Amino acid sequence: MAKILIIDDEAGILNLMTKLCRQQGHDVVPVQTGREGLTALDKENPDLMIVDLLIGDMTGIEIIEYSQENHPETQVIMVTGHGTIETAVEAMRLGAFDYLTKPFELADLQRTVELGLQQKGKPKQTEIAGNSGFDLAVAPSELIGQSPKMKAIFEIINKIADSDSPVLLEGEFGSGKQMVARSLHNTSERNSAPFKVLQCSALPENLLEAELFGSVGSRGETIFSRAMGGTVLLEEIHMLPLRLQSQLESYLEEINSRRMTGALPNHMDVRFIASSAKPLEECIEKGTFREDLFYKLSVIPIAVPPLRGRAEDIPLLAEYFLKRHAERTGTPIQEVDKYAHRLLEGYSWPGNVGELQNAMERACSFSEKNRIRPVDLPPKVAQKVEITDEDEKTTHHLPIGSKLTEYIKKQEKMFIRETLKYNGGSREKTASMLGVSIATLYRKMGLKLERDKILG
């Protein structure tokens, strides 16, 4: 649970945003004037602030400037009308995480809030985190993991850190693609220069074009010129309109040509990283992404695994989030009991790392005596489906959110056992009756052990 300050002088919109954020489980402080907002900002020190651009007694830009100076850890989301988009971009340049244009969809607000909270408190300098029996000294900053898949990513980052080749990160929403990009930047020789992020799905097409290639009145400023010498991450690149994809492909071609001739101007000297929650090759087949741009962006592809694909990292990440919560709140570090640990490791985490972070935040709010129990976890993490095995008189539990294949596997095993029992333990008859090979029975059941148990 996070603390959110909302500043908007329109009572209806203020109430709507407040209600939605509270439904997400957050502690919300709503105010209608800028002065009240500054007072609440100092008193509450919120995790995230949502502020309207035009409030009445002062502007949202003034509030953002005050927040960045006095509360730099507070993430800021600007809310603005269609006619003030340029000012919203200025807010982002001052340090706002993102902005929403009125009228906005409730799902967009929810998603932007969660993204902002995920970014809160992330270190900007290289550091080493984690232990749990795994030496993370070789791991790039901000990345935590001990699974083989994460170790492989650590190795790739350390090998390519100082290369200028574009990198394409593909993985599910919330899997940590931005953390991989930041780690790549922080590990590189460019780490003293800016790291800039542009969310291709968050801006209208005209503003995206201005951010990428400049516009009249922008004095030639683009996200690339502001990241000069550093790194640019183009998030959700699959959402970039086709017209802008063509311009970006030409821009990358120009950079490659100038770099080869040694005539690369400073404003083009950036490292390109793109990320996508959808496989770009599938987008190419559907005609929504340019193949030539894909090949320019994917010189070094990195597949970022979902959390369920690296379950070994769940305890390590949970420990990290608990430490961060303790540091932020000045409270003792919570411990997770063994039963809660089993639930954390058994859940499929469809929301990936962000969902785990929110779950630990909630658990800390509900825990007693600095100990997290199953009852403190979100209901969907703790809730299970029971599958009764009448033959063994046992009950198997599958967490809600488990893959359908896991449920089918349990049921399949029990059905094969019953068929084997019906055939007096004969694996040949059982395989014939089920229409599978004996080798398949061995693979699915560990047949020798199961057969001995039934016939004994």
Do domains 3-119 and 308-382 share one topology? The answer is: no
pLDDT of residue 189: 92
The SS3 assignment for 342 reads helix
Report the topology of domain 308-382: Helicase, Ruva Protein; domain 3 (1.10.8)
pLDDT value at residue 222: 84
What integer pLDDT is reported at residue 231 of this predicted model? 93
Tokens of 128: 């080493």
Q: Tell me the per-residue pLDDT of 187-244, one tens digit each, with 9 for 90 and over.
A: 999 988 888 888 888 778 888 888 888 765 444 578 888 888 999 999 999 999 999 9
pLDDT of residue 97: 77
Q: Which amino acid appears at position 57 of this protein?
A: D
Structure tokens at 75: 């993430």
Q: How far apart are CA 337 and CA 331, in angstroms?
A: 18
Instruction: Note whether 394 and 408 are within 8 A (CB).
Output: no
Residues lower than pLDDT 70 in the chain: 81-90, 92-93, 119-142, 215-220, 383-407, 410, 446-456
Domain spanning 144-305, CATH architecture: 3-Layer(aba) Sandwich (3.40)
Task: Give the sheet arrangement for strand 98-101, strand by strand.
Answer: 27-31, 3-7, 48-52, 75-80, 98-101
The bridge status of strand 48-52 relative to strand 3-7 is parallel
State residue 375's pLDDT score: 87
What CATH architecture is 385-455? Orthogonal Bundle (1.10)
Distances (CA, A) of 378 to 244, 340, 342, 361, 367: 42, 11, 14, 10, 12
Question: What order of strands is seen across the sheet that includes strand 167-170?
Answer: 195-199, 231-235, 271-276, 167-170, 300-303
Rounded to whole angstroms, what are the CA distances from 381 to 122, 182, 249? 25, 29, 43
pTM to 2 decimal places? 0.58
Give the phi and the psi of residue 73 in degrees, each rounded to 5.
-80, -15
Q: Looking at this protein, which amino acid is placed at residue 92?
A: M
* Tokens, residue 196: 């800039």
- Residue 233: per-residue pLDDT: 94
State pLDDT tens for residues 282-317: 999 999 999 999 999 999 999 999 998 998 999 999
Listing DSSP states for 25-78 in one string gives T-EEEEESSHHHHHHHHHHH--SEEEEESB-SSSBHHHHHHHHHHH-TTSEEEE
Phi, psi torsion values for 123, nearest 5 degrees:
-65, 145
The type of residue at 80 is T
Q: Identify the pLDDT of residue 223.
A: 87
| Residue-range domain boundaries for the chain | 3-119, 144-305, 308-382, 385-455
pLDDT confidence of residue 138: 35
For the stretch 148-186, pLDDT in tens is 999 999 999 999 998 989 999 999 988 889 889 989 998
Residue 235 CA to residue 198 CA, distance in Å, equals 6
CATH of 3-119, one of 2.30.42.10, 3.40.109.10, 3.40.50.2300, 3.30.1330.10: 3.40.50.2300
| pLDDT at res. 371 | 92
Bridge-based pairing of strands 384-389 and 394-399 is antiparallel
User: In 3D, which of 210, 176, 452, 192 has the Cα closest to residue 320?
Assistant: 176
What's the pLDDT score for residue 237? 95
